[in-house]
Amino acid sequence: MSLSPKSIFVNQLGYLTGGQKRFWIRARSPLPFVLQAAGGMAVYAGITSPAGGDYQAGDFSALCAPGTYQLEVGGSRVPVVIRRGAYRDVLNALLRFFDYQLCGVALPASEAGPWAHGPCHTHPAQVLGEARTVSCNGGWHDAGDYGKYTVPAAKAVADLLLAHECFPSPLAECRPMEAVHPTPHLPPALEVAREEVVWLLSMQDPETGGVYHKVSTAAFPPLDTRPEDDAAPLVLCPISYAATATFCAAMAHAAVVYRPFDPALASCAADAARRAYAWLLRGDMRPFRNPAEIRTGEYGDDELRDELLWASCAMLRLTGDPACHALCEPLLDLDLPLELGWADVALYGVIAYLMAPPGATRTDLRAKLVQRFKSLLDDFAALAKAHPFGLPMRDEDFIWGSNMVLLNRAMSFLVAEALGVYHPATRAVVQRTVDYLLGANPLGQCYVTGFGTNPVCHPHHRPSVADDVGDPVPGMVAGGPNRNLQDEITRRKLAGRPAMEAYIDHQDSYSTNEVAIYWNSPAVLVVAGLMEKGER
Ligand code: G3I
Ligand code: 9MR
Ligand code: ZN
Ligand code: CA
């Protein structure tokens, strides 16, 4: 049977020498394959096996010698690379993306290359409905828009801090944009995340300890607006429970992680977390809704007990206070979904509990949580086993930001392992996740800008659309397939497509091709984790 190269799906950045190596083809029956070294010598031969649906998978994990090979299958050939550090450059770019998202400072060409731009959004923001203004410069633009939202910012910060805690050595080789950081030479993930921590601190109301939900213009500016040209007034939306709780959790986390590196920041963060926690204990558990005059991202969430859980466990980790433990207990007993999303955050709470000083926790409760964590991973492993590309995903999981859903699940395995909760499927799930992200998927799409043989070229990202550089900012993870077709262009072009193919590399497709800080942040952790595990 003959196969077009378009029906052969590989990790376009290659494979680690010691890692699992797999490729996929769209074909109904097994096909023989060979890998040829430069010069044409066949160094590995095998046969594909059915993977599910229309797909076959081929495994060449036994081939470990670094090199560039030609994979020949069904009469077609595609290049395949095996090398140490295959993901080093993409990890660096995934982390540097956060520097590209920086608001309020100029990105000099010496750091940002052709994507340099002047300072943006430096004017103070007006508290909605009041005459008061607050200066909340800095931080990261959320996504393809220029809004800065507390809730997803807390997730992104938490991921980077966890990445640093779990996998510091692969991250140590990353090179943030030194010139834009007032405190260069912190461990890279902490140097980068520090900007968002400082911005988050400015989102707290000093009077009450409550935290503003977001700062943005009233509506999204046109897609071709450069950051420094987005001059509409900035509005601070009201303090919300979700913002205050996720802020509290992220600041408590930062207080612990920055303590040895930046004690002054750590102590500000600890103080801010305490004040936010006090607000929560008085506060009103009401979901945030966009005020009538505001049309930017809502980040609304009706279930807020998981946010309180995360804040309480993070405070327990920071303070060891038995009063926090008393608050954690009943919340840990609830059957909240164990996720790492921007709206479902209970697993962050469980992780914080398991990272708290053992003396501040209860052994039987820890054991119970470890059991729940394991059974979550069992469920993901079962999904992965049934999936043609080995992913812990169902069709229903390909929603807006599906790449985050997948990366979060891979992250659950890696963080579990860093906490001593081993699962036999970890390596495979993590490698499959990175393979999928970097091109081993039914579209042969590398979902990261600037990387792979078929990278995302037209992300819904205002700075990239508005500049006159051909290529988009590098290192950005696109949202990925979304079977719910939630923008005009996908409804027009993708109706009836299978879930994993409901994606289009078009700048207007905000529901499949936008980028976001909290889609890059789990990618940083997962790629760093894979580098640490795949190279022995
Ligand atoms: O979780 C539900 C699921 O239960 C349901 O069955 C399924 C069917 O619709 O969808 C899932 O909900 C989706 C939800 O995301 C999951 O997080 C919604 O359909 C989907 O509309 C919603 O999309 C969010 C989108 O904003 C629209 O509100 C994305 O998560 C969120 O990442 C995105 O965030 C935007 C900001 O608003 C503005 N800035 C850019 C950013 C990225 O696109
Ligand atoms: O650009 C906006 C993107 O950042 C959001 O995620 C998305 C959903 O809220 O909305 C985008 O803005 C679009 C708006 O919703 C509808 N008109 C076209 C806008 C894109 O330019
Ligand atoms: Zn800005
Ligand atoms: Ca929630």
Asked if residue 352 is part of any domain, the answer here is yes
Q: Which residues lie at CB < 5 A from ion ligand 4?
A: 301, 303, 306, 343
CA 213 to ligand 4 centroid distance, Å: 14
Q: Are residues 207 and 68 in the same domain?
A: no
Asked if residue 499 is part of any domain, the answer here is no
What is the pLDDT at residue 283?
Answer: 80
Q: Which residues lie at CB < 5 A from ion ligand 3?
A: 103, 120-121, 227
Asked if residue 341 is part of any domain, the answer here is yes
Q: Which numbered ligand comes closest to the C-alpha of 403?
A: 1
Q: From atom 5 of ligand 1, which residue's Cα is the shortest distance away?
A: 399
Given the cut 0.95, state whether the ipTM is greater than it.
Answer: yes
What is the pLDDT at residue 280?
Answer: 98
Q: Is the pLDDT of residue 533 over 90?
A: no
Asked if residue 426 is part of any domain, the answer here is no
What is the pLDDT at residue 183?
Answer: 84
Sign of the Cα torsion 335, 340, 342, 345 reads positive
Q: From atom 7 of ligand 2, which residue's Cα is the shortest distance away?
A: 510
Q: From atom 37 of ligand 1, which residue's Cα is the shortest distance away?
A: 297
Q: Are residues 192 and 311 in the same domain?
A: yes
Asked if residue 520 is part of any domain, the answer here is yes
What is the pLDDT at residue 459?
Answer: 99
Q: From atom 14 of ligand 2, which residue's Cα is the shortest distance away?
A: 220
Q: Which domain holds residue 35?
A: 5-82
For residue 471, give Cα distances in angstroms to 109, 117, 195, 331, 491: 15, 15, 26, 47, 26
Binning pLDDT at 50, 70 and 90, where does residue 358 land?
Answer: very high
Q: Which numbered ligand comes closest to the C-alpha of 105?
A: 3
Please give the average per-residue pLDDT across 140-158, as a whole number: 99
Using CA atoms, how far apart are residues 34 and 71, in angstroms rounded to an integer?
6
What is the pLDDT at residue 140?
Answer: 98
What is the pLDDT at residue 158?
Answer: 99
What is the pLDDT at residue 534?
Answer: 75
Average pLDDT over the chain, rounded to an integer: 97
CATH number at residue 125: 1.50.10.10
Asked if residue 500 is part of any domain, the answer here is no
Q: Which numbered ligand comes closest to the C-alpha of 152?
A: 1
Q: Are residues 17 and 104 in the same domain?
A: no
What is the pLDDT at residue 60?
Answer: 98
Q: Is the pLDDT of residue 335 over 70?
A: yes
Mutate to test the pocket of ligand 1, among 214, 398, 399, 515 (most ligand atoms within 8 A of CB): 399
Q: Are residues 94 and 27 in the same domain?
A: no
Asked if residue 186 is part of any domain, the answer here is yes
CB atoms within 10 A of CB 230: 21
Please give the average per-residue pLDDT across 508-534, as a whole number: 97
SS3 letters across 432-496: HHHHHHECCCCCCCECECCCCCCECCCCECHHHHHCCCCCCCCCCEECCCCCCCCCHHHHHHCCC
CA 510 to ligand 2 centroid distance, Å: 6
Using CA atoms, how far apart are residues 101 and 177, in angstroms rounded to an integer?
12
CA 400 to ligand 1 centroid distance, Å: 5
Tell which of 62, 82, 102 closes a domain: 82
Provide residues with CB under 6 Å of ligand 1: 142-143, 145, 147, 297, 343, 399-401, 484, 486, 510, 514, 516
Using CA atoms, how far apart are residues 515 and 464, in angstroms rounded to an integer?
11
Asked if residue 126 is part of any domain, the answer here is yes
Looking at the chain, the whole-number percentage of residues with pLDDT higher than 70 is: 100
Q: Are residues 205 and 297 in the same domain?
A: yes
CA 213 to ligand 2 centroid distance, Å: 19
Q: Are residues 167 and 290 in the same domain?
A: yes
Q: Are residues 67 and 166 in the same domain?
A: no
What is the pLDDT at residue 184?
Answer: 80
Q: Is the pLDDT of residue 407 over 90?
A: yes
CA 496 to ligand 1 centroid distance, Å: 20
Q: Are residues 235 and 353 in the same domain?
A: yes
Segment (H or E) for 42: strand 42-47
Q: Is 43 helix (H, G, I), strand (E, B) or coil?
A: strand
342 CA closest ligand 1 atom index:
17
Tell which of 34, 61, 82 closes a domain: 82
Task: State the pTM of this model.
Answer: 0.98
Mutate to test the pocket of ligand 2, among 399, 461, 464, 510 (most ligand atoms within 8 A of CB): 510
Q: Is the pLDDT of residue 530 over 80?
A: yes
515 CA closest ligand 1 atom index:
42
Q: Are residues 154 and 134 in the same domain?
A: yes
Q: What are 67's strand-pairing partners? A: 82
Provide residues with CB under 6 Å of ligand 2: 143-145, 220, 223, 297, 510, 514
Catalytic residue ranges: 460, 505, 514
What is the pLDDT at residue 288?
Answer: 98
Q: From atom 10 of ligand 2, which residue's Cα is the shortest distance away?
A: 510
Q: Are residues 359 and 242 in the same domain?
A: yes
What is the pLDDT at residue 462?
Answer: 98
CB atoms within 10 A of CB 233: 11
144 CA closest ligand 2 atom index:
4
CA 232 to ligand 3 centroid distance, Å: 11
Give per-residue pLDDT as tens, 176-188. 999 999 888 899 9
Binning pLDDT at 50, 70 and 90, where does residue 465 land?
Answer: very high
Question: Nearest CA to 26 among 55, 63, 50?
Answer: 55
Q: Is the pLDDT of residue 292 over 80?
A: yes
CA 175 to ligand 3 centroid distance, Å: 22
Binning pLDDT at 50, 70 and 90, where does residue 251 land?
Answer: very high
Which segments within 83-195 are labelled E, that is strand?
Answer: 125-127, 133-134, 148-149
Q: What is the number of domains present in the chain?
A: 2
Task: Find tokens 């943005």 and name the residue.
Answer: 216
Q: Is the pLDDT of residue 536 over 60?
A: no
Q: Are residues 65 and 117 in the same domain?
A: no
| 179 within 8 A of 171, measured Cβ to Cβ | no
Give per-residue pLDDT as tens, 363-376. 999 999 999 999 99
Q: Is the pLDDT of residue 1 over 60?
A: yes
Q: Is the pLDDT of residue 244 over 90?
A: yes
Q: Is 511 helix (H, G, I), strand (E, B) or coil?
A: helix
Q: Are residues 66 and 44 in the same domain?
A: yes
Tell which of 82, 102, 117 closes a domain: 82
Give per-residue pLDDT as tens, 40-64. 999 999 999 999 999 999 999 999 9
Q: Is the pLDDT of residue 458 over 90?
A: yes
CATH number at residue 64: 2.60.40.10
Using CA atoms, how far apart are residues 470 and 477, in angstroms rounded to an integer?
18
